[in-house]
Structure 1
Amino acid sequence: MEIVKLISFDLDGTLLNDYGDISDFSKKKIFSFADRGIITSINTGRGLMGMRKYLDQLPVTYSAANNGALVYNNLEDRVEVIHFIENEHKVNIVDYVLEKDLTVNIFFENRVVINKYSEFYYGKLYQKMLNPVIEPKLTGTEEAFSIDVEISDINLIDTVVSDIEKYFGKYVAITHSGSNFFQINKNNITKGTALSYIAEKLSIPLNNTLSIGDSANDYPLLETSGIALAMINGEERLKSIAHRITKEDNNNDGAVNLIESILSERGNEARYE
């Protein structure tokens, strides 16, 4: 039975409770994992700015943002990998969603731009962002690595996603994260590719990795990981590929409780009480 050397946490619906916080109990547990020599990473659909405050609360070595489009080296405080979307496809996709009068959020290497105010982005994810950039036309040739699309009318989302897959599916990957939100990245870039990169950089075999999530965008993460865990509050499709499912939900420290149990089973005994 392989011991665990690397843990990859999803944030929303997994490590975070419904108030967007990591409980003190979960923090203490994760620090105890580090005391046992286990490396912690964060692997989220959020952008780097949307997860940065959590990185300061945990002993994180690497983190992946935007569903794998960006990998951040926390120890060296630098972006290590960015997978850019080909600019021609970025421009065409943005033109299409603007014609539909949708909210579009584009991640460039050094800034984040949105075409109009969004309570989701500026009210929830980027409440600490200074001088948010709103550019209604989103024109230009600047390289982007991720495009977020927010649709208020959930009846429209299937049509929009279908059109983008039809015309651009060979060039981009579309990830759903929430009923009215999806993200567009370079093709074949996922949370799973980010985990593979991080594990290779740390010289850790994938058999020694453990990942936990709750949503459809976590599917490639769990498929890649040696040990795949799903939250009890997660989507049924994700639970179907998980080795284990938590007993408690994200509001009751379900992730760290199950991981603690698995670590004990696999010989990752605590060094400290």
Structure 2
Amino acid sequence: MIELIVSDMDGTLLNEKMKVSETNAKAIKAAIDKGIHFMVATGRGFTEAQPLLQEVGINCSFITLNGAQVYNEEGKVIQNIGIDKKTVHEVVAEIKKRNLYCEMTTSNGIYSDNKAKRIESVASLLYETNPDTTYKMAVVLAAARLEIMNINYVEDYEQLVHDDSIEVLKIIAFSDDGRKVLGPLTKELEKTGNLAITASFVNNIEINNINAQKGIALEAAAKKLNIPLENIMTLGDNFNDVSMLEVAGYSFAMENAEEEVKTYAKYRTTSNNASGVAHAISLALNDNLESARAPEILKSAEE
């Protein structure tokens, strides 16, 4: 019996327009009406995530920044897990050594040390997720979007390292060369032994405290709600979703999910652009989950 549904946002709950579709919103509300809890687990910060749910009339709790922060339904922080400043210094040094752009999400908001690169990274995301948008238009949209976002700019991230009033919660590094460049960087950073390094898109890596993971945060939330993990349904599409796909009794991978990520999920649903969250919820509420079993799990059962 499903008592809690937890969904990722980008590539999962959100469509190519970065919106929660009416179909998804309706399905989530139907589940809530049946007494099922709903929660969002995202790599986004709270101020980037909450408005998109409020826009469709959904009030819920949030796991944000891959598990570095947890918010209750009233929008209050109930957990903070940051990266120690010595490690922050070392991570930034490795990123800059490769001439890559990075930014930080902190207890005081998002920080960037290069406005042009910030616009470029957002434009690349919009371009990749919106096939009908030209790159030039994506740059225009990115610049407009950043004008209304509360982004802090610093000349040097060392300012944050030496500011004891600010806690660094997540560092995200970008490269248009994708895994070719980010793969070796990930291996180098993993040597510290105290970092969780995932990705939400092919052109980035997201760096958190090793204890700041969606799966760990979900286990803690489930314990507070007194809900067994086997009664939880999770949905995701990328590597920062793996930890929560692994712990849930009912785990769904989107049709558009990374192929390796799909191997961690027990079930499949349609793509984010086809309201895959709603499709999965419908299957669950109508006791039709077997039709969505992952091929490898069906093969294993037959053997």
TM-score by length of 1: 0.88
Classify 1:198/1:192 alpha carbon distance in 2 versus 1 (closer, same or farther; 3 Å): same
> Match of 1:265?
287
Q: 1:213 aligns with which of 227, 230, 236?
A: 236
Classify 1:240/1:156 alpha carbon distance in 2 versus 1 (closer, same or farther; 3 Å): closer
* Alpha-carbon separation, structure 2, partners of 1:111 and 1:88: 20
Classify 1:124/1:63 alpha carbon distance in 2 versus 1 (closer, same or farther; 3 Å): farther
Classify 1:193/1:87 alpha carbon distance in 2 versus 1 (closer, same or farther; 3 Å): same
- The 3-state SS of whatever aligns with 1:189 is coil
Please say if residues 25 and 58 of structure 2, whose CA atoms lie closer than 8 Å, have aligned partners that are also in contact: no
> Match of 1:183?
206
* Alpha-carbon separation, structure 2, partners of 1:125 and 1:87: 32
Please say if residues 50 and 125 of structure 1, whose CA atoms lie closer than 8 Å, have aligned partners that are also in contact: no
Q: 1:153 aligns with which of 177, 187, 204?
A: 177
Number of paired residues? Answer: 261
Report the alpha carbon displacement of residue 196 of structure 1 after superposing the two structures with TM.
0.8
* Alpha-carbon separation, structure 2, partners of 1:189 and 1:111: 17
* Alpha-carbon separation, structure 2, partners of 1:231 and 1:23: 15
> Match of 1:61?
60
* Alpha-carbon separation, structure 2, partners of 1:42 and 1:92: 31
Report the alpha carbon displacement of residue 198 of structure 1 after superposing the two structures with TM.
1.5
Structure with the largest fraction of helix: 2
> Match of 1:96?
94
Please say if residues 61 and 75 of structure 2, whose CA atoms lie closer than 8 Å, have aligned partners that are also in contact: no
Classify 1:67/1:130 alpha carbon distance in 2 versus 1 (closer, same or farther; 3 Å): closer
Please say if residues 192 and 221 of structure 1, whose CA atoms lie closer than 8 Å, have aligned partners that are also in contact: yes
**What do the CA deviations read for 1:41-63 (whole angstroms, capped 9, x no partner)?**
00011122221212313434311
Q: 1:134 aligns with which of 153, 158, 183?
A: 153
* Alpha-carbon separation, structure 1, partners of 2:144 and 2:77: 20
> Match of 2:83?
85
Uncovered stretches (5+) of structure 2, i.e. residues with no partner: 124-141, 289-303
Matched, 1:233 2:252: no
> Match of 2:4?
6
Uncovered stretches (5+) of structure 1, i.e. residues with no partner: 267-273
Percent identity of the aligned residues?
Answer: 30
Please say if residues 172 and 184 of structure 1, whose CA atoms lie closer than 8 Å, have aligned partners that are also in contact: yes
**What do the CA deviations read for 1:206-240 (whole angstroms, capped 9, x no partner)?**
12110011112111111011111111111222222
Classify 1:225/1:103 alpha carbon distance in 2 versus 1 (closer, same or farther; 3 Å): same
Partner AA of 1:110 in structure 2: N
TM-score by length of 2: 0.80
Classify 1:131/1:255 alpha carbon distance in 2 versus 1 (closer, same or farther; 3 Å): closer
* Alpha-carbon separation, structure 2, partners of 1:125 and 1:153: 26
* Alpha-carbon separation, structure 2, partners of 1:181 and 1:130: 20
Instruction: Give runs of ≥4 in structure 1 deviating > 3 Å.
Output: 124-131
Report the alpha carbon displacement of residue 114 of structure 1 after superposing the two structures with TM.
0.9
**What do the CA deviations read for 1:247-269 (whole angstroms, capped 9, x no partner)?**
x2111112211221112218xxx
Please say if residues 31 and 281 of structure 2, whose CA atoms lie closer than 8 Å, have aligned partners that are also in contact: no
